[in-house]
Amino acid sequence: MLRVTALEILGSDFQWVSRENDVLMKAHSPAHGDFLILAELQFRYTDKMSLRMRVYAALDQEKYQLPVYSVLVNILQPSETAVVKGRVF
């Protein structure tokens, strides 16, 4: 069983427009130590999401010196022509 404890909610200073639906959390697991979770809530997936999330994750990792795991939650189904990337490194 993986145990993760949320330690605190951190602010993201890298966004040009304040977004109430994004959150950066510091978390801890006995197996993995401290890390960050960058969670974003969007209405619909677009192909620009993965680049934007990688940029924010890189800036957060540099600032806090911790690994960052990004989570994107889409409220609506993507368009029929959208190609959703499951995992980007």
C-alpha 42/C-alpha 77 separation (Å) is 11
Q: Can you give the pLDDT at residue 35?
A: 95
pTM higher than 0.95 for the full model? no
Kindly report, residue by residue over 65-88, the tens digit of the pLDDT. 999 998 888 888 877 777 776 655
CATH C-level class of 5-74: alpha beta
Residues 57, 59, 60, 61: what is their CA dihedral angle, to the nearest 10 degrees?
80
